Structure 1
Amino acid sequence: MAMASAPDGDLSALWRSRVAGSGPRPFLTYHDFGTGERVELSYATMDNWVSKTGNLIQDELMADPGSRFLLAARPHWMTAVWALAPLLCSAVVSPWGDAARARFAVSGPDEAELDYARACQGERYALSLLPLGRPFAEVPKGFLDYVAEVRMHGDRFAPLDPPDADAPALTTADGESLTHRQLLEQAAPKYSAGARVLIATERTSADAAGLIDWLYAPLAAGGSVVLTRGGEDAELDRLAEIERAERV
């Protein structure tokens, strides 16, 4: 099977095209061996979360084009939402970047992640990462509960300032910015067109390189990802067989 060619345009246009053409097909399946949680988000279901989050960014935060969103959270389906939604608003995702330079921050629930994000002086959201998308029982001090806040926003999103291919999209580990075009050029060659891949969170990350591997590359290929947490090799092999996915 041929590798996917680099899509033209920006990630926002690509996302809309994938949702329109593959709405009910799986996009991201999250499996946690420790809790037994399995969440499957189709392109349409993920779009619901991304759209709600886009409306939060646009209507509540009033983020300007180029606004930097720190993302300090482990690989998870909620992390994926925040790696996509700002890009649809012409904002920039800064995974584990300079928190002090970020206008807004999104953090996971672990204390190390929260401490990292506290250097951001703007609005800060915490991701509970709990099964079934539950909110926090006790919201971390200095943060808003993303799950509780996003529910009030609509699930149809129209950007006021849609990005173009040369708009900045993602900051890398060395602080440089990839444009939408550069991001897609790096992501597209990784997997075959339509590939379904299984990736263990312990063998990847939520920095720029990790996000390209387990999120943007499957999207660019028009495929899907099974993201797992925990599990021994034999369990992962069995899950890959059940999910009809290729381990990478």
Structure 2
Amino acid sequence: MADNIARVFADAIATDPTRPLLTWYDDATGERTELSGATLANWVAKTANLLVDEAGCAPGDPVGVLLPPHWQTAAVLLGCWSAKLTMIDTPGPVEVLFTAVDRVDEASRWPAGERYALALDPFALPMRQVPAGCTDFVAAVRGHGDHFTPYPSGGAADAALLARAEARAAELGLTAGDRLLVDVTRHPDPVDWLLTPLTVAASVVPCAHLDRARLDARAATEKATHTLA
């Protein structure tokens, strides 16, 4: 059983880093953003370098992530796992807190060393107005290196998360090369929309605010082999 999420991610993109790995839709905004494995890996490395070099995080440090499913959230989560950080899901002291701009008030209840806000702009543009006490994640992360060497062992929660993801992949019948379309509004857990396809080297089409009248057409357009909707 795999016990290192960063290693699983690296293995998932190793065969063909140029193929579409994550194709993000938001039917409320009309957004469609497609990332190859190489492009997502670039964002992940930059995020991990930001955490280590700018925020000064060390393995095991706690981090909070108040973000909805999104392609930028995938980069943040994988960056945290690459840096071997411990993500917590209840308000408490953390070294770093990532928050969506619409959850800044909620984020204020978390004691945090560094706070990064994400507007989740479709084109990853910098924010025009950054919430007080926060740093714009997109503006900050771009200046960091494109390569990061993950720690050889995974974080404390990696094995349990990957075990859940592997079980979900088996339940869905996913195998290498498959393409999973996920309604992330109904299935917001990153185990479903991020880790499950990665464990078997499949790609994923996460869809927010999915217009269910478009489901069959989208599955056909995106050549989805499986759906979780």
Letter in 2 for 1:45: T
Question: What aligned pairs does 1:53-72 form with structure 2 within 5 A after superposition?
Answer: 53-72=47-66
1:120 pairs with 85, 88, 111, which one? 111
How far is the alpha carbon of 1:182 from its aligned partner? 1.9
Give the alignment's Cα RMSD to 1 decimal: 1.5
Task: Quote the Cα distance in structure 2 between the aligned partners of 1:233 and 1:15.
Answer: 30
Letter in 2 for 1:100: G
2:100 pairs with 108, 129, 138, which one? 108
Task: Quote the Cα distance in structure 2 between the aligned partners of 1:231 and 1:90.
Answer: 33
Q: Does the 8 A contact of 1:196 with 1:244 survive in 2?
A: yes
Task: Quote the Cα distance in structure 1 between the aligned partners of 2:135 and 2:201.
Answer: 33
Aligned to 2:153: 164
Q: Secondary structure at the match of 1:93?
A: strand
Q: Secondary structure at the match of 2:112?
A: coil
Q: Does the 8 A contact of 1:89 with 1:163 survive in 2?
A: no
Question: What residue ranges of structure 1 are gaps of 5+ in the alignment?
Answer: 1-5, 169-177
Q: What do residues 127-174 of structure 1 show as CA deviations (whole Å, max 9, x unaligned)?
A: 111111112111111110000001111111124xx1514x31xxxxxx
How far is the alpha carbon of 1:80 from its aligned partner? 0.9
Q: What do residues 186-212 of structure 1 show as CA deviations (whole Å, max 9, x unaligned)?
A: 11122211231111222122xxxx110
Aligned to 2:30: 36
Task: Quote the Cα distance in structure 2 between the aligned partners of 1:230 and 1:89.
Answer: 31
Task: Quote the Cα distance in structure 2 between the aligned partners of 1:17 and 1:227.
Answer: 21
Task: Quote the Cα distance in structure 2 between the aligned partners of 1:181 and 1:121.
Answer: 26
Task: Quote the Cα distance in structure 1 between the aligned partners of 2:146 and 2:22.
Answer: 18
1:243 pairs with 217, 222, 227, which one? 222
1:136 pairs with 127, 151, 163, which one? 127
Q: TM-score, normalised by structure 1?
A: 0.84
Aligned to 2:179: 196
Instruction: Evaluate the alpha carbon distance shift between residue 151 and residue 242 of structure 1 in structure 2; reply closer, same or farther with a 3 A threshold.
Output: same
Instruction: Evaluate the alpha carbon distance shift between residue 163 and residue 109 of structure 1 in structure 2; reply closer, same or farther with a 3 A threshold.
Output: farther
Q: What do residues 198-227 of structure 1 show as CA deviations (whole Å, max 9, x unaligned)?
A: 11222122xxxx110111111112111111
Letter in 1 for 2:175: A
Q: TM-score, normalised by structure 2?
A: 0.90
Q: Does the 8 A contact of 1:33 with 1:231 survive in 2?
A: yes
Letter in 2 for 1:67: D
Question: What residue ranges of structure 2 are gaps of 5+ in the alignment?
Answer: none
